């Protein structure tokens, strides 16, 4: 059951097929390769004057990322209003029921996790979409390595947090 309006999740095959269709459509119609994390750099390039964010690639061929990011943001809203209604919430499922962090601790937790995501995806040159799906589908060595690394690190972290520190049992 999803946190969002306690919905039953779609079958994985529907989501997988739709993600693959997005990859192929983006490549065929726009000649762009799916990858989301570079969008963080695109957003940084709007305000930062650091040489790294002045790379022509971000403001030239990379501008497609802005409407894609906008689509993602709007999709969450549309998903909520078409399934029982939109409501602002702090409900984080298992994080609340098992770890029971205070409000401040939860914000700090999410912020620190975000730091790892922003720094890590840019250092690796991709995230779940760019490396995990697009790159692995092309059998790219870098993507196979990055995907193995982030899946292993995620498994280690979650198992440490929940099974070891949180005392969680199935």
Partner 1 sequence: MKTRDVLIVFVLGLGFGLLLSRSGAADYTFIQEMFLFESFQLYGIIGSAVLIAAPGLWLLERHGKTASGEPLKLKRKPLHGGTVIGGIFFGIGWSLTGMCPGPILINIGEGKLYALAALAGALIGAWAFGALYPRLQPLLGLPPLDVGTGDG
* Residue among 55 and 100 whose Cβ is closer to partner 1: 55
Report the nearest approach of partner 1 to the CB of residue 57 (Å): 7
What token pair was written down for 108?
């700090």
Cα angle at 60 between 120 and 53, to 5 degrees?
A: 40
Report the nearest approach of partner 1 to the CB of residue 167 (Å): 13
**How many CB atoms sit inside 10 A of residue 41's CB?**
19
Report the nearest approach of partner 1 to the CB of residue 8 (Å): 9
Report the nearest approach of partner 1 to the CB of residue 112 (Å): 6
* Residue among 100 and 145 whose Cβ is closer to partner 1: 145
Any idea what DSSP says for residue 167? -
Residues in the chain: 170
Q: Do residues 136 and 147 make contact, with C-beta atoms less than 8 angstroms apart?
A: yes
* Residue 154 CA, distance from chain mean position: 13
Report the nearest approach of partner 1 to the CB of residue 105 (Å): 11
Q: Do residues 40 and 154 make contact, with C-beta atoms less than 8 angstroms apart?
A: no
Q: Do residues 50 and 58 make contact, with C-beta atoms less than 8 angstroms apart?
A: no
What sign results for the dihedral spanned by CA atoms 109, 111, 116, 120?
positive
């Amino acid at each position: 059951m999803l946190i969002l309006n306690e919905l039953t999740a779609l079958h994985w095959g529907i989501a997988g097929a739709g993600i693959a269709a997005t990859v192929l459509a983006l490549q065929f119609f726009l000649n762009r390769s799916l990858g989301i994390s570079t969008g963080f750099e695109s957003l940084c390039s709007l305000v930062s004057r650091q040489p790294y964010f002045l790379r022509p690639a971000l403001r030239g061929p990379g501008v497609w990322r802005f409407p894609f990011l906008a689509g993602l943001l709007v999709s969450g809203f549309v998903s909520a209003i078409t399934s029982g209604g939109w409501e602002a919430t702090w409900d984080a499922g298992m994080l609340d029921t098992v770890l029971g962090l205070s409000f401040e601790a939860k914000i700090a937790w999410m912020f620190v996790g975000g730091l790892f995501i922003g720094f890590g995806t840019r250092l690796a040159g991709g995230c779940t979409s760019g490396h995990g799906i697009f790159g692995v589908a092309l059998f790219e060595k870098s993507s196979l390595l990055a995907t193995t690394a982030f899946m292993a690190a995620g498994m280690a972290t979650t198992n440490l947090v929940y099974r070891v520190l949180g005392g969680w049992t199935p």
